[in-house]
Amino acid sequence: MRLKLAIIGILVLAGGFMLYPQLTKSPQIHTSSLSAMTQDLDGLKDTTFHRVNYELDKTINKVEDKIEQINPTEVIPIKQIQQKVATPQIQEVYAGQVYEKDEKNNCKISVPKMAKTINGVKELTHTITLQECPYEKLDPVSVSTGTDPITNTQTVSVSPTPQNMIFETLQLKTTRNQDDTISIYYEDTSKKTLKVSITLRNSDKELFSGEFFSSKFDTSVNDVSKSPHTIEMTVEHVDYGTVASSVYNPQGNDATIYGVFSQGS
């Protein structure tokens, strides 16, 4: 309200200054003419007051409407930033195994649980290539992935599998034979295995599936082609609960692979 009165006062004062030179230049102005001019000035003052008052009200209303329409989170998205900053990185840990290492000290790591579906086809296993690899072929590793909530970027790190996650009393040995058969040997030296579930598959189909209720057994899977395949085993154990091992055998690998059982495989 004070702002409105100040503006009106300035306008009236400016009008007075504009009329003053005219009055001083014409000293013989008739009294009736001067009275008429005074009345006109009073009318102009009233008209100006009401007009300015109307324009100010209209402008204030428009500004208030615009303020109401503004979403504070769009102007200063403090809440969204706080939520992102407060949200910790989403981390997941997977069991992996080195299945190949070249002369340049680069290795390839199989992480079956990270397998993705690409163009409608699911990977047999997910492979991570690690340069300057400190691990040896067949070494078990832990693969950690993290997603930054602010940038939505993913980070991947590889570290040795903690010893407390490895169950050394459980032994798995798979051998690819020259006659295209796969020999699977399992032994639990604690003799507390309740059940072992085995699944063998390649990229086209499931080649074998079976269950064994023993702490020691061996079996062979016939008619396995030379294409890459995985052997997944899940063990129900008295002391360890449910643990698993997944072995990836790439094409042309006839060597024996030792699977490592761990939680979170």
For residue range 234-260, list pLDDT tens digits in order: 999 999 899 888 888 886 555 677 777
Say how far apart CA 146 and CA 64 lie, in whole Å. 46
pLDDT in tens, 77-134: 555 555 555 566 677 888 888 988 999 999 999 998 888 888 888 888 899 999 999 9
Say how far apart CA 160 and CA 156 lie, in whole Å. 14
pLDDT at 262: 74
Say how far apart CA 145 and CA 176 lie, in whole Å. 32
DSSP 8-state symbol, 152 = -
- H-run or E-run covering 263: none
Q: Judge whether residue 263 has pLDDT over 80.
A: no
Q: Judge whether residue 34 has pLDDT over 50.
A: no
Provide the percentage of residues in the chain whose pLDDT is more than 90.
21
Q: Judge whether residue 51 has pLDDT over 70.
A: no
Strand partners, 127: 110
Q: What is the mean pLDDT of residues 175-190?
A: 87
Q: What is the mean pLDDT of residues 158-183?
A: 83
Q: Judge whether residue 221 has pLDDT over 90.
A: no
Provide the percentage of residues in the chain whose pLDDT is more than 70.
63
